[in-house]
Amino acid sequence: MRRILLPPFDRESLLGMLQGIAGATIASLGLSALLGCEGPQSALDPAGRAAEQIARLFWKMAVGTVLVWLAMAGLTVYAMRGARTAKEGRLAKLLIIGGGAIVPTAILTALLVYGLAMMPNLLARAPEGSLKIDVTGEQWWWRVRYRPPNGTDVVLANEIRLPLGEMVEFQLESSDVIHSFWIPALGGKMDMIPGRTTRLALEPTRPGVFRGVCAEYCGTAHALMAFSVVVMPKEEFDRWLDAQRSTAPEPTEAVAIQGREAFLTHGCSACHAIRGTSADGVIGPDLTHVGSRMSIGAGILANEPEAIRRWIESTNKVKPGVQMPHFGMLPPEELRAIAAYLKSLE
């Protein structure tokens, strides 16, 4: 067997390399923290009770990671020094045992205990009488049903609104494959498993508009399966929920009236429901008040007439793999009329 001879280490070069790695690591961590600390989908910009706990855990883990890294880097630099006396050799052993074993073990144990102590709070159920929201993951959209303690249920889709400062219990299901329900700014994620009901309690602490996503790969359009989350004051939320119980408004403009006729004539009502009309389909999202939602297509297009027309005309191109058929065969004026009608449903 041939022996491979390696050139001797250049301590000065290696020390410089370690310093460069340390600087790059710290810069990368700082840049990542700055980029990830803000935004409607940031877990480091918490707007919910559970998210605040998770963010605290992250920062403690980040500090622990830096401490362990510094201990390892310090030992490496110390080991690269020249010849040592017997006394220094004993010190080296103590440093290896302390910095290489005791310090990392103590830090990781403390982080483990801290993280496990959080679990009961993160998995707690909402108090009796709280608002319940059933969310069913579909390929690739979200069916949403509000079940207030007093009042009738309200069925919506692809958007969730929550009362500020109140704990809400989500009851999560899937009709096809495993999805994962996640609103990073409000709390942790929870899997949605076919044949089972999982639960997640969230309490918003700050008003605003946030973004929810599916956090489990679920097929072709997984990356295009999102939803908006609007947190509003309790009184405003109650008014909004009452308005959502009403039937669809009657169209007043000629183009919207034409769009309603086209919607009912071309089979859209077989899959979609619009309360107050003959459309009573249950396969696709409920469209009774679709005009008041922030987006369409499960969070991928702005809720504007042109975007609605594009969605109807080229559904398969806008969202590859989607089960809704496209209607590109319809005349452009009918497509614009249907889009105008749907936008009028506020």
Q: What is the spatial order of strands in the sheet that 132-138 belongs to?
A: 154-157, 141-147, 132-138, 168-174, 198-202
The answer to whether residue 1 sits within a structural domain is no
In this structure, the answer to whether residues 273 and 305 fall within a common structural domain is: yes
Q: Do 158 and 192 have their domain in common? A: yes
Q: Is residue 18 part of a domain?
A: yes
Q: Is the same domain home to 117 and 185?
A: no
Residues 155 and 236 both lie in one domain: yes
Q: Do 141 and 117 reside in the same domain of the chain?
A: no
Residue-number span of the structural domain to which 296 is assigned: 254-343
Task: Let me know whether 33 and 66 are in one domain.
Answer: yes
Q: Tell whether 259 and 230 lie within a shared domain.
A: no
pLDDT 10s digits, 108-137: 899 899 888 888 888 888 888 899 999 999
Of 91, 122, 153, the last residue of a domain is 122
Residue 3 within any structural domain of the chain: no
Q: Is residue 276 part of a domain?
A: yes
Whether residue 252 contacts residue 223, with contact meaning beta carbons closer than 8 Å, is answered with no
pLDDT at 16: 59
- 283 assigned to some structural domain: yes
> What pLDDT is recorded for position 42?
86
Flag whether 278 is in a domain.
yes
Select from 194, 227, 245 the last residue of a domain: 245
Tokens of 249: 């408004």
Residues 338 and 266 in one domain: yes
What percent of the residues of the chain are helix, what percent strand, and what percent coil, each to the nearest 5?
Answer: 45, 20, 40
9-18, 81-90, 244-253: least confidently modelled range: 9-18
Shared domain check, 167 and 260: no
What is the CATH classification number for the domain harbouring 171? 2.60.40.420
Residues 274, 207 share a domain: no
Q: Which letter does DSSP use for residue 99 in this model?
A: I
Same structural domain, 48 and 146:
no
Q: Is residue 112 part of a domain?
A: yes
- Name the domain boundary from 199, 219, 245: 245
DSSP track, 288-315: TTGGGSSEETTTTEESSHHHHHHHHHSH
Cα 44 to Cα 37: distance, rounded to the nearest angstrom: 5
| Distance between CA atoms of residues 100 and 118, nearest Å | 28
pLDDT, position 21: 57
111 and 21 share one domain: yes
Contact (CB, 8 A) for 183 and 210? yes
For residue range 13-26, what is the model confidence (pLDDT) as tens digits? 555 555 555 555 55
Examine residue 6 and state whether it is found in any structural domain, yes or no: no
d(CA 12, CA 102): 29
pLDDT, position 233: 97
CA distances from 76 to 11, 14, 28, 99 (A): 11, 10, 21, 11
Does this model's pTM top 0.85?
no
Count of domains for the chain = 3
